[in-house]
Chains A and B, each alone.
Chain A
């Protein structure tokens, strides 16, 4: 098969205008907000609304179709073509809706949230830039373009985390986010290199088609195809096939905050809370999972194992960390990492649909949680005056907020129930599906993989616990702030937010009811499962993993009852434990406000997230900085010192030569002239002009001659 017959430039399709509109409108929003500044919130929100309409139109138009590709040439090198391609399939449509919907809500929410910020034009501009880049990832079906927009998403995330750049912690968090993402991107780039070496294209359709045609011979991964009529035969060691998948997955490890790069996400909470809702909960962090979905079929068994293990570890580690945080956004951040871990685990066990389903449900309820938390933070911020400053994100100042903010409480509660996996809410459906597929996969796989199941189920318990701990601490009991601030200050009354804050939260809360996806309590019965199906792996034997589809449905049925029962019991256990510990008046709830640093090994492990930050900052970063200083010293003193020494040596030699020249060479000349002079002087002294002297000398000479002759 000729590669140029796979990556063909498609005929003109009016769809391109809609795609360009989807990308262009947010970009326009970026430019208008950045350059016009005036009325930026209004413009940006209106434009985003228009974009959502485009997305809805496309969804109606293309729902249920096979997928449409639009491809064109970008540039060429030698006989290799670099193309771009858009792909509108069911997954892209769903992502377009989710991203645009949540982006619009966040814009709307931000109108109030950022009302008093002097730099809000910049803020809305950056939201536009982010939406543009995120939609790029969704729309392109070319790994190189996904990578390009991937990095641009990283840029907008960097700029938004560091939005309040006067805060040192914010700019440090922004750096951390960008660099951690970059580390993951090195893997992505390596994956691109491997695939390019083999297939000479980044087009996913091309890569997939050629992967089917490739084969494993004698442990070598052979790709044979025609290119411009000539046979190409590329061969790499078979391990590069697994390596390609794992390398690309590294990109997702960075972007979707997986172990070991997840440390940037809690810090990213330095950004404005709506940004956390949009970027660091619903969309950007999910881009990693989306990317795995795009390359899913070219992943081999080994890469999938790595993905599953990383996902399970991440889910568990982050859930543990969420147990003991004081900062409400930190709890949500760790919870996000943990849920992303579930999605990645799902991808790893081949549960493509379940993973994407969780991506969508999580996007809704987590954005809802973040926006509700944002409402609380925003309203608490209104209480701040010059004299009273407190941390508006700290749960220690909260408590009993249900009375003051009943609306927010209900929104938060609904989303929290979804997060905890309580039946009737979306999170239950999708998490259940992941747990079921994981259980099936592990039964098939056997061996040492049972720990994945243990971690996945343990996380259910932990999730329910930290979710309800948060609810009890924030919404029940008494409002703790008045006791913490100066008694002489009278605080303004705390109340619910206005329509700008309420509407997005309530819409997302509605989206967290499982009714949205169907009446059944089984994920397989939802409309999502009707439109998104598990694809078949394309990797050649013996590297291919088994497909979940190949496992008889009865087996799923058989396991389902067990998995559901266990997960509901665990979720309820978590809920009950949280109730016992943090209900109003319980021991932990009353002692909570005084808590400072957690005591005890396990609590510290949780609070400091397994000391991963400490390891990175105190060991690795320190080592790199030490190395860099040492190398700078080496460069200056040794390498340049060597150059300077040669220069000095040259000068010394020059002086020696000069001395030699002056004293020896020239000295010899001087000696000659001196001797000549001296001899001349001596002889001259004889020629004194004294005639008597001459006669004397002549006589003496004569006598000496006579003596010599005679004897």
Chain B
């Protein structure tokens, strides 16, 4: 069971999707139950994965032995004569970098399934696609073979495109196409680098087996791997025996790059007179920054959010954005730490700029969902700032921010959905004094807003604090980003308070007033289903704000390993 756990997690929703497809139209009331059950099972499995995660294992993120719950089988391989062997694995596993996000995905997808309860239009398609989306998201977080990762990454686009394009708001088609094309541009950049990496990286274990140094059945030790690596570097191993690989863990180790390969650390490959590694890093960074999204690649986000139905917005903001951050950590920073260091100022600056720019834009929005969308841009800026710091605190903060924002933004979009369900209008200026009419809803909104503006006690505060202290420390420890960046970034907190409190005051306080008198009777307070979605989120947000150790113990070792590798790498 445990050996295949991650596989079960990936494929449970897919099985659910199949069930939905096979159920006849006459049983359409069962679709949502299937979806809910599938997501509940996935959530339970994800929790099992967390409880089975050994927090004592050191977390060097370039060492396969320190990845847990792994499953690795050859998917296909092609012999290419003198060019060696082309090999793609079904390789999944977790470490501190992705475990928290896997858990987050399971939680948010489950909440999204509850939120989908009221979908009435073309149910079969909706729930089928939702479950398909769930599978590809979960797969994306645990895949450790770049080919597999890319497959999941690309496959997310398809259900997402239809979910926005069919079940969305009035401008759904525009938004869906924009989302699709924008992300596709990013994917292409990632694809190019992936091909470059494939040409440069080999799998030392498989190469050792191929070259006959050891048997496939043995458990490779550090020394054996180093043996192979040295063999490849000094040409002792025949080119034909080299097994090229998409293994993302191998890619994170400079020693696994072929000598004289374009992206090798010591081969100084160049493209257009620029270091190939730097170019590859930038391509990956931009590819994932689109997903994150960071300024100036964020303009797909407001449209996609505004048009997407509530549960899809929740999944989009809650998880999809995090794939951007995760991708930057797992690929760009892990593969090319030297380039990351070279560009750290720029990354930090774009993080800082996103924080302020997103917040300023949120301040000007008249549509509640757009406001929340821009606040996401602002909050994701902290992820970049924390990563650019390259300190343990900064990277911890970045991951914590992703997790925390996943919960908080889910709650925010659910809240926007509550009002939209009732009146089909999200204009901030079309409401006033809702606290009189919907006091319990107002309490939830206040909690969500204060959580999002980083009030201590909620998870967002821990994340932002970590980013700040990590970023300030950065210059003294590693020299990545200057002192003024985190200081200026604190202004984002004031702007955050500004747009949230202003919204609260305009929509919820004052005398009750709505633009259309007919709305009044629809504006009922929260119902049970809404409580079921919101209360668990409140509990989680508080929990991770008060007991951060719950999450930090899971991610701690890997973050330490990750930053250690970076600092070792830049000292080379």
Residues of A within 8 A of B (CB): 74-78, 80, 144, 147-149, 151-152, 155, 158, 162, 165-168, 170-172, 174-175, 178-179, 182-183, 185-186, 189-190, 192-194, 196-197, 234-236, 624-625, 627-629, 631-632, 635, 639-640, 643, 647
Q: Closest approach, in angstroms, between the C-beta of B271 and any C-beta of chain A?
A: 23
B498 touches A (CB below 8 Å)? yes
Cα distance A629–B456 when bound, in Å? 30
B436 touches A (CB below 8 Å)? yes
**Beyond A178-B501, A186-B490, is A165–B299 a contact (Cβ under 8 Å)?**
no
Binary interface encoding of chain B residues 535-572 relative to chain A, with 1 for a CB under 8 A from any of its CBs, else 0: 00000000000011100100010011001000000000
B 440-457 contacts with A by CB, 8 A = 450, 455-457
Extra 7 A-B pairs, beta carbons < 8 Å, given A80-B393, A151-B456, A193-B472: A75-B552, A148-B461, A162-B509, A182-B494, A186-B494, A635-B361, A643-B299
Contact call A632/B494, Cβ cutoff below 8 A: no
Please, which residue of chain B has its CB at the minimum distance from the CB of A198?
B476
B487 touches A (CB below 8 Å)? yes
B189 touches A (CB below 8 Å)? no
Partner of B364, one of A151, A166, A631: A631
Binary interface encoding of chain B residues 336-359 relative to chain A, with 1 for a CB under 8 A from any of its CBs, else 0: 000000000000000000000100
B85 touches A (CB below 8 Å)? no
**Beyond A147-B456, A197-B472, A631-B364, is A179–B497 a contact (Cβ under 8 Å)?**
yes
**Beyond A165-B435, A193-B469, A194-B472, is A632–B493 a contact (Cβ under 8 Å)?**
no
Q: Closest approach, in angstroms, between the C-beta of A251 and any C-beta of chain B?
A: 12
**Beyond A74-B549, A635-B361, is A193–B509 a contact (Cβ under 8 Å)?**
no
Which residues of the partner chain A approach B457 to less than 8 Å between Cβ atoms? 148, 152
B466 touches A (CB below 8 Å)? yes
Q: Closest approach, in angstroms, between the C-beta of A35 and any C-beta of chain B?
A: 12
B511 touches A (CB below 8 Å)? yes
Please, which residue of chain B has its CB at the minimum distance from the CB of A189?
B490
Which residues of the partner chain A approach B476 to less than 8 Å between Cβ atoms? 197, 234-236
Of the candidates B361, B365, B559, the one having the most CB atoms from chain A within 10 angstroms of its own CB is B361
Which residues of the partner chain A approach B501 to less than 8 Å between Cβ atoms? 158, 174-175, 178-179
B24 touches A (CB below 8 Å)? no
Interface majority SS on B: helix, strand, loop or mixed?
helix
Contact call B299/A190, Cβ cutoff below 8 A: no
Cα distance A170–B501 when bound, in Å? 13
Cα distance A75–B462 when bound, in Å? 11
Cα distance A407–B472 when bound, in Å? 57
Contact call B486/A76, Cβ cutoff below 8 A: no
Contact call B363/A193, Cβ cutoff below 8 A: no
Partner of A77, one of B181, B392, B435, B468: B392
Partner of B493, one of A148, A155, A186, A235: A186
Contact call A172/B469, Cβ cutoff below 8 A: no
B268 touches A (CB below 8 Å)? no
Which residues of the partner chain B approach A635 to less than 8 Å between Cβ atoms? 299, 357, 361
Contact call B469/A192, Cβ cutoff below 8 A: yes
Contact call B456/A189, Cβ cutoff below 8 A: no
Contact call B361/A643, Cβ cutoff below 8 A: no
Residues of B within 8 A of A (CB): 178, 181-182, 296, 299-300, 357, 360-361, 363-365, 392-393, 396, 433, 435-436, 450, 455-457, 461, 465-466, 468-469, 471-473, 476, 486-487, 490-491, 493-494, 497-498, 501-502, 504-505, 508-511, 547-549, 552, 556, 559-560, 563
Contact call B494/A171, Cβ cutoff below 8 A: no
Contact call A152/B456, Cβ cutoff below 8 A: yes
Contact call B505/A172, Cβ cutoff below 8 A: yes
Of the candidates B360, B466, B508, the one having the most CB atoms from chain A within 10 angstroms of its own CB is B360
Partner of B396, one of A77, A175, A178, A236: A77
Cα distance A645–B471 when bound, in Å? 37
Please, which residue of chain A has its CB at the minimum distance from the CB of B508?
A165
Q: Closest approach, in angstroms, between the C-beta of B191 and any C-beta of chain A?
A: 19
Contact call B510/A632, Cβ cutoff below 8 A: no
Cα distance A193–B182 when bound, in Å? 37
Contact call A631/B299, Cβ cutoff below 8 A: no
Partner of A196, one of B357, B396, B469, B563: B469
Which residues of the partner chain B approach A165 to less than 8 Å between Cβ atoms? 433, 435, 508-510
Partner of A632, one of B361, B456, B465, B505: B361
Please, which residue of chain B has its CB at the minimum distance from the CB of A625?
B363
Please, which residue of chain B has its CB at the minimum distance from the CB of A145?
B456
Please, which residue of chain B has its CB at the minimum distance from the CB of A183?
B494
